[in-house]
Structure 1
Amino acid sequence: MKPAIICFAANGLPTAKAIAAMTGGTIITDGKSAIPRLFTAGTAIIGVCAAGILVRLLAAHIGNKHIEPPVIAVSADGTHIVPLLGGHHGANMLARQLAEGLGGIAALTTASDARFTRALDEPPQGYALADPTAAKAAMAALLGGAAVKLEGDAPWLADAGYTLDRAGTVVISITEKRTAPGLVIHPKTLVAGVGCERDVEPAEVIALIDKTLADADLSPLSLAAIGSIDLKADETALHAAATHFGVPLRVFTAVELNQERDRLVTPSAIVDAETGTPGVCEAVALKAGTLLVPKQKSKRATCAIGKAPSPIEIANFGRASGQLHIVGIGPGEATSRTVSAVRALDAATDWVGYGLYLDLIADVHNDQTEHRFPLGDEEPRVRHALELAATGRTVALVCSGDAQIYAMAALVYELLDASGPRAVSDAARRVGVASHPGISALQSASAAAGALLGHDFCAISLSDLLTPRDHIIKRLHAAAEGDFVTAFYNPRSKRRTDLIEHAKAIYLDNRPSDTPVVIGTNVGRPEQNLRITTLAAFDPTEIDMLTIVLFGASSSRSLTRGNGQTYAYTPRGYERKSLP
């Protein structure tokens, strides 16, 4: 996850922008309330401010040092960089990176980092400690002048300043084996190739991988990935196994796996006939380099282990299974976005959406590739997002408000379900799909106006482009007669002007003329214009497509408070509940 860069004063903004360019982090200028939330969520924090500000804001939230994220204070001019927390969880390394980029000084106070450029409990990417607690004693001995007796290959130890000596007293073993002398560091050089039947239980796949590793005395901490054929990109058991072992799932095409057919130990004519390659698990394992453990079987799955000569660069190993995030960004302002939505946007490699929606989230844009579509190109937009995810990308399909409400979420599933000319590719059908709800326009308008959605409500789109006009009229009558608070989306366009007028007439026949009406234009954006009127006084001609209209129910009320501001609300019936 990219860091949050907190900047409180204008004189620190140039430094904050330089840090953002180096790290891909997001600048936050109003961070007092955000800092504790970011810290507890595990987000790295770089404060362009006095160290004391960060200390005071986080004092009540500091607990387990083994899980705390990096927290760094940087002086406004960028000359001094001080890691405050999470030194061995990336803060010291990040401080060095910032010092180099800013031309400043990293004030490292931990003993190991003052002498060595990397502590033993913070190995580089591609390595994992078997027992993190064992590093403390080893570091103490090395700080006392001891040398390292290295078993295995780890060039980064010498680069970090450690003395290597075959007669050294601190033994460090770099190995995939579970059992080894001294401080054991596992290189992530192993791949578990997995083949399985459709809908196999996750527990079976996990147990098979565990047993295959254990029988060969191999540590799961050396796993770099779980791999399979792309036909299994949507297999729940494989995703569950990847999550269990904390590694990514990578997939290969049948053509790619077939390149290894002559190296397979146990090829299968049946598998060849079904998939186009005589082996899946062994072929995937061989993509790593050497077949370390040939095919092992359970009832419905197979597993083989491959080994690379050095830690595997995952970006160059197969491809990801592909993920589509359907993201509702709310009305547009940053404070109205959910944490889930922001994380999905941050994790994405690509953003797909209507240009205006992408402009509204420009403040969290890092290096994502943008794919902009006109407002009316909904199906081409969603199809592009699905097919792009099918290539292994992590795609955010960006929608305003909530993606489930008159937006793209339903169309995603419609296309996944489609056949014939509208069908998406088989690869697109296998991508993972996750939805991230946003605050809808009806919620925003009701909240800004009081609590008009306090009781039963419904939403009706007055656009007849996708819904027949007679259906809309039927729904207007039903909602009015049912006495629902009603939110009207797409209330009026240049071409379609009369449906909102029909709505007013129908509702006047079913509820009092003084029923509150909320009119919200550009809700949740700086140019927001919100007003409250009555059903009788409501003027449909002042409505446009950037406006949402809420008609109250017969029980809805308006209230003018002492500040002169009028609010609208709908009682739920608590008065009756409280009566004796």
Structure 2
Amino acid sequence: MSQVYEGTNKVLLAEFFPLSAIATTITGAKKLEVLSQNHGATLWVPEDLIHIKGAKNYTISLKYHIAQLWQTQRAFVFCLATGAVVRLIAPLLQHKSTDPAVVVVDETGSFVISLCSGHQGGGDQLAKLIALQLGATPVLTGASNGLGLPAVDMLGVPFGWRRGNGEWTGVSAAAARGEVVQVIQEVGSTLWQNHLPPGHSFEFGASVTPKAKIWITAKLPSTPALPEIYWHPRVLWVGIGCERGSSRHLIETAIGQVFREHQLAEDAIAGIATIDIKADEVGLVELCQERHWPLKTFAADVLRTVSVPNPSQVVEKEVGTPSVAEAAALCAADEVRLFVPKQIFRLQRELGAVTIAVAEAEKEYIGRTGKILLVGTGPGQLDQITPAAKTAISSAEVVIGYSLYIDLINSLLSPGQIVESLPITKERQRAQRAIELANWGLSVAVISSGDCGIYGMAGLVLEELQSIGWDGKTPSIQIFPGITALQAAASRVGTPLMHDFCAISLSDLLTPWEVIEKRLEAAAAADFITALYNPRSQSRTKQLIIAGDIFLKYRDPNTPVAVVRSAYRQDEEITLTTLEKLLDVTVDMLTTVLIGNSHTRTHANWMITPRGYLGFGS
């Protein structure tokens, strides 16, 4: 069976599609080619530039061409003078909540400027991602970037919260000035609170008089005394029972009346829940499609197991369960809390009747398919990480990894990202946590040093997914390779891997030592150049001694050996020695040992393995 996979890089910028990249010179077009060739953006150039691979030509003035594209694009990337871009887009700008993101790249490719719609349109994030691709410096002028704070108008975006009413500009300004902003969070995830920078000005208690307020609630706004804004996490599931043929208008009117009576915000609706025989109810289906609400249905056998305050024998006789609206709402909300007991509605001159109940879930509905980005960060230095891997880390909503590796990529992290580190022995827990968050709907980067698929986290994540019956699609998986330890170590000492080689981990935590010994014997006997991973720990000291003895049975004692600790990091240590003197060198878990084959030699402090069999005779 064959399968077509979408290019990894194209997925990284998917949230900004449709995306138009625009250049007027050959130099500019060459700078933006990476966006079209690697990421699927549409590259537009004047009709006289006919030799730009994959580009499209515009044949009218650029001003009118941009005007034609404006309403259909999520983002624009210009390689033009900033002033020229300002004049081109000025007549088209309406509001930051609806305008596309606009980013400008200078012709040298040194700077990427977030020009318009930096927060709500994602211009700041797009500028950072493009800068990582080009090796450029992002220029972000929003005040929240300098404070290391998530922008207040982007706070709930990762969790699918809806923006409600409020004085958004005033609250944003107060936060930017470092003034005290009180946060009253009644519902929704508090994960974002755990990753605020030290000295932030958000106040979660009532001990200080604030300058502004942020409400995170399912309730409607009250009359404010201060500048305040409302975020509405989608925690309310509306249970509905209705007579066959009830109209969309009747159902929508009933929901609206219930929510007004109980001072609830319709923006806090997660979705609609009902009995499975109503899955094709036309009015219900139309309403869910129009309002972008998921429709969850449950069998009568499931609904009648739910304890409800207002069961009905009439309903049970009709559909096989004493409750539809209340039971369905509770099922959808994982039976956390019934917020509004059932109410029955009818409208004059309109057929049908609707029963409404509302339950509150502990966890909000995000409304997106989550994804896991499995990222190899290479040896540790930022310039050894691929642009695609950097982009994946920066674009993720959550970053999970061992604390040492998190520290190494700290400069790639962004305000508002959720960063979770677990100890070095908690790899499986890291994998399970990543899957949990991705199944909820978040994008999660799981980082490994070296290559994530070589003794890294990628295998564990896929194993865990397989164990829970993963369908291969949800959550989606993308893998970003990195320079693995044996490559990094080899590059520091010469060309020891120039012929057939293998890698063996000496850690017996996951592999029985008897199996490891057999592999060592086979590798030594077959004359493979051998990279030893995890050669020694504080509690595991004999394995390297045994490995050395095995290789001495088959190799000359003077066989060159490289011992490389923390390649490319500040505390890097490199020792060239021989097989018989290997145990004289300090070795730990951050060390990679490279044992040459029978033809490997050293020359002027470089380790060389002949490239082919012809070289073996020389």
TM-score, structure 1 as length reference: 0.50
